[in-house]
Amino acid sequence: MAVTRGEFSSRFGFVMAASGSAVGLGNIWGFPTQAASNGGAAFLLVYLILAFTLAYPALMAELIIGRHAHANAVSALRLVSPNRLIGNIGALAGIAGLIVASLILSFYAIVAGWMIAFFLSSIADLLGMEKLSLWLVSFSTWRNLLFMLIFMTLNIGVISAGVQGGIERWSARLMPVLLTTLALLVVYVLTLDGAMEGLRVYLLPDFSQILSPRLIINALGSAFFSLSLGVGTMLIYGSYIKDEENLPLVGGMVTVLDILIAVLAGFLVLPAMYVALHSGVEIFTESGSLISEDTLIFTVLPELFATMGITGIIVSLTFFFLMSIAAVTSSISMLEVPVAYAIEEHGIDRKLTTVAVGCTIAAISACILLNFDSLFGAVITLTTRYSQPLLGFVFCIYAGWVWRRDLLLQELRKGNPDISEGLFWKIWPWYVKLVCPVIILAIFAQSIWG
Ligand code: TRP
């Protein structure tokens, strides 16, 4: 089916859009919370190792396959396959990715809705509307439903606008502001009482925990989630990159930026937890585990902002605004997965598809909200801890074993004629073929039987 495909207009635009996808709630809500509940520095260390040694190579597999095929994951995996059977298995994996992306969006929209509610609550504070402000920050089904719907509507709006107008323009503007705000907040939090205790937890590893299977599998899930891997998102973003682009380089830039922001967010959230603890907020249960992981940052950050007096309202407003935007630039990359598939495989109109898929996901989100206690955590675990790494494994197998090596090299040469002389070509192909799949499987085996 011939459709005009969108393309990113510049390297900066792509790096911003791909980092816009990567940087989101995973960095600022997911990673610090996981670090806080999995032993702080031990988690940080394992996360860093896995992000560079497994997630980056897996990201490259998606980007390269995507750019080669200039198509969604289903057609792309078919295209690199030598025969029908392997092609169909690839297509099935692509469809599984599309379902996982939709499920991820269904819980992501809930948390993103909280960000918007907290942002509006700061505005209500500024206007002296205390009751409204309180309602906005209190956990209730109505509030959750309303803001999930508002968030999904924003998403549908951006995605219907397409690649350059929607995805690229938004990401390029807001990412730099997010980075600066985070850095300033970190500097501030470190001046407060209790912050050093948090810093210690974040930076001094307890080596006895590093080999815990639970910690390793959580860190793997976290790294894959943070880089938007294993559902075909990065494959699609790769498909919108120009042929002249040097892929290993731009992939590396995205990885470094993403990890940097997660680590930076840790420097904010862990100290902020101990600052809150210091001023009497209960964070841990008697047994030492976190009281509520999902809403941790929604407890400790407002506490932190409250220490700043009236300035705190402005800071809170800026912070939650940026988080809402970061959530939009990430979630549009999830919605793009099923949408690109429907447009390219079935020739359906972009606007129509976006609305239909968006509404379906909003309905799933509503089901999760109405059964919050039993479904929310379960969907997160199923998608991020299991499905993403397993599908990432499949992408590595297709890049390493299924795709012909000469064609792969040809693809890489497009943006970088001398690549066969460089380190990337000497290491990555066998690495993604052998090391990545084996380690991913080993981590799984250990977490199941270990
Ligand atoms: N990486 C994003 C974050 O850290 C979330 C995200 C965007 C994502 N697209 C994805 C996660 C696709 C998994 C799959 O918030």
Q: Return the pLDDT at 2.
A: 39
Shortest-distance Cα residue to atom 4 of ligand 1: 26
Q: Return the pLDDT at 3.
A: 45
Q: What is the spatial distance between Cα 28 and Cα 46, in angstroms, rounded to a whole number? A: 18
End-to-end CA distance of the chain: 48
Q: Return the pLDDT at 171.
A: 65
Q: Return the pLDDT at 94.
A: 96
Q: Return the pLDDT at 170.
A: 66
Q: Return the pLDDT at 61.
A: 95
Residues of the chain with pLDDT under 70: 1-6, 8-9, 162-172, 450
Q: Return the pLDDT at 168.
A: 67
Across all residues in the chain, what is the average pLDDT? 90
| CA 128 to centroid of ligand 1, rounded, Å | 36
Among 276, 252, 275, 209, residue whose Cα is nearest residue 44: 209
* DSSP annotation of 287: T
- Ligand 1 pocket, residue 24 CB under 6 Å: yes
Q: What is the spatial distance between Cα 165 and Cα 435, in angstroms, rounded to a whole number? A: 39
Shortest-distance Cα residue to atom 9 of ligand 1: 228
Shortest-distance Cα residue to atom 14 of ligand 1: 228
Q: What is the pTM of this model?
A: 0.92
Q: Kindly report, residue by residue over 301-360, the tens digit of the pLDDT.
A: 999 899 888 889 988 998 899 899 889 889 988 998 999 899 999 999 988 999 999 999
Q: Return the pLDDT at 4.
A: 53
Rg (CA), the chain: 21
Domains and CATH numbers, the chain: 12-449 (1.20.1740)
Q: What is the spatial distance between Cα 376 and Cα 378, in angstroms, rounded to a whole number? A: 5
Q: Please choose from 72, 170, 226 the residue to mutate so as to test ligand 1's pocket, defined by most ligand atoms within 8 A of CB.
A: 226
Q: Please choose from 170, 228, 324 the residue to mutate so as to test ligand 1's pocket, defined by most ligand atoms within 8 A of CB.
A: 228
Contact 388, 221 (CB under 8 A): yes
CA distances (Å), origin 327, targets 56, 97, 155, 299? 22, 20, 10, 19
